[in-house]
Amino acid sequence: MFKSIKYTLLSMFIVFKHLFKRPVTLEYPEKKNLVNEYFRGKPVVNSNCIKCGICMRVCPSGAIKIDENSFKIDLKKCIFCGNCTFYCIKDAIKMSEAYELASSEKESLELIYKIGGENERNI
């Protein structure tokens, strides 16, 4: 009996102590979690790309498609594993810090990057 009362009071004490502490959670839509340099968000391709196709071959879900003059990443298939970034020999593909990628249009989830293009053809 006394033991139960003792433990109830002790637990109450620990719980009430937390009333006077600052909250550890964030009020999400207003305040956002800061992400750091290596965060794996939306993949971005820059002009270093030489279309060697390594990223296409290490991608586990087949999200990357490369043709004549465009580089397509299907965000519906991408699992954000970072294989393409890690194995890229030219640092041409990077994972950016953007993480709120939900969209109501299917087309906007297909990223198309123009690379090489006319300049390359002239050479």
Partner 1 sequence: MTKLKLNLGPQHPSTHGVLRLILELEGEKILSCEPDVGYLHRGMEKMAERLSYVQYLPLVDRIDYLAGFFYSELMCRTVEKALNLEISDKVRAIRVMMLELNRIASHLLWIGAFLMDLGATSPFFYAFREREMILKYFEKVTGQRMMNNYFVFGGVRRDIFDLEDVENILATLEKKVPDYEKLITENPIFLQRTRGKGILLKEVALNSSITGVNLRASGFDLDFRKRDKLYCGFYFEPVVLEGTDAWSRYKARVLEIIESSNIVRQALEYLKKEGELNQSLINPLNIKLPEGEYYSEIEAPRGLASLYIKSTNEKTPYRLKWRTPSFYAVNLLRKILVGEYLNDAIAIAGSLDIILPEVDK
- Residues at the site binding partner 1, with contacts judged by CB under 8 A: 3-4, 7, 10-11, 14-15, 18, 24, 35-36, 38-40, 54, 57-60, 79-83, 86-87, 95
* Contact between residue 27 and residue 95 where contact means Cβ atoms under 8 Å apart: no
Beta carbon of residue 114, minimum distance to partner 1 (angstroms, whole number)? 26
Helix (H) or strand (E) holding 93: strand 93-95
Of 35 and 50, CB closest to partner 1: 35
Q: Which of 63, 40, 42, 44 is nearest to 113 (CA)?
A: 44
> Residues of 10-48 as b/e, b for ≥16 C-beta within 10 angstroms?
eeeeeeeeeeeeeeeeeeeeeeeeeeeeeebebbebeee
Beta carbon of residue 109, minimum distance to partner 1 (angstroms, whole number)? 19
Beta carbon of residue 64, minimum distance to partner 1 (angstroms, whole number)? 12
Of 24 and 102, CB closest to partner 1: 24
Of 18 and 106, CB closest to partner 1: 18
